[in-house]
Amino acid sequence: MPDLHELFDRSARAAGATLYWTTRAARLMVGVPDYETYVAHRRANHPNEPIMTYVEFFRERQQARYAVGKGRFRGCC
């Protein structure tokens, strides 16, 4: 039954997309932007410079989220 296959594929794609965007949103909520975007940016604009690994990137972002106070207020009211 091709209709069911089609429906299944479409649902799977929709579920995949939902998961992808939810994960991105959840990560940014805790201050970690998209790693792929970062890598793509470095490759395109700074081709011969080093690119942080995901772990380095994560640690750098974690440190930055709580770094020197100004402009990093959060969650009060």
Residue 52 DSSP SS3: coil
- DSSP assignment string, 3-14: HHHHHHHHHHHH
The smaller minimum CB distance to other proteins, of residues 47 and 71, is found at 71
* Binding residues for other proteins (CB under 8 A): 21, 23-34, 37-42, 45, 54-55, 57-66, 68-77
- How far apart are CB 10 and other proteins at their closest, in Å? 20
The smaller minimum CB distance to other proteins, of residues 9 and 62, is found at 62
Please calculate the CA angle 44-48-53 and round it to the nearest 5 degrees: 80
- Which pair of tokens denotes residue 33? 């932007």
The smaller minimum CB distance to other proteins, of residues 14 and 40, is found at 40
